[in-house]
Amino acid sequence: MSDAPQMIFVNLPVRDLDATKAFFTALGYSFNPTYTDDNAACLVISDTILVMLLVESFFAQFTNKPISDARQQTEVIIALSATSRQAVDELLDKALKAGASEPQPARDYGFMYQRGFQDLDGHLWEIAHMDGEPG
């Protein structure tokens, strides 16, 4: 087994790849051009977290099941950590300005501060800063 850190590649269907790329660019993220073309864009969250944003017709080639409409049903909640409460708020402010919606108010559990947004395709993203442990 390799000593390299395990990576995660989350695959999400999108309706409008250009609009989706513009949305995540506005949040401060970049794309790996090696894995980006007219059918897909490789969103770089970190060195070990990548999100493949696939045009719905291309995404459909990888499954025999119907594609969920994330605007109508919850398929998954993608949760990412943030370095501070301020970083949570800053990312949410960028997301909202870029066209996202905030389905729930901020939640403060004492040890964890959390906010979330729905992207242009309805995918749910939770951003949280943890400072301590549940008590």
Structural domains in the chain, CATH included, are: 1-62 (3.10.180.10), 69-135 (3.10.180.10)
Statement: the pTM of the whole predicted model exceeds 0.85: yes
Spatial neighbors of 46 by CB under 8 A, at least 6 apart, are none
Angstrom distance (rounded) from CA 8 to CA 111: 26
User: What pLDDT score was predicted for residue 61?
Assistant: 97
Radius of gyration of the chain, Cα coordinates, nearest whole angstrom: 16
User: What pLDDT score was predicted for residue 12?
Assistant: 97
pLDDT tens digits, the chain, 135 residues: what are they? 668 889 999 999 999 999 999 999 999 999 999 999 999 999 999 999 999 999 999 999 999 999 999 999 998 999 999 999 999 999 999 999 999 999 999 999 999 999 999 999 999 999 999 997 787
Angstrom distance (rounded) from CA 135 to CA 125: 25
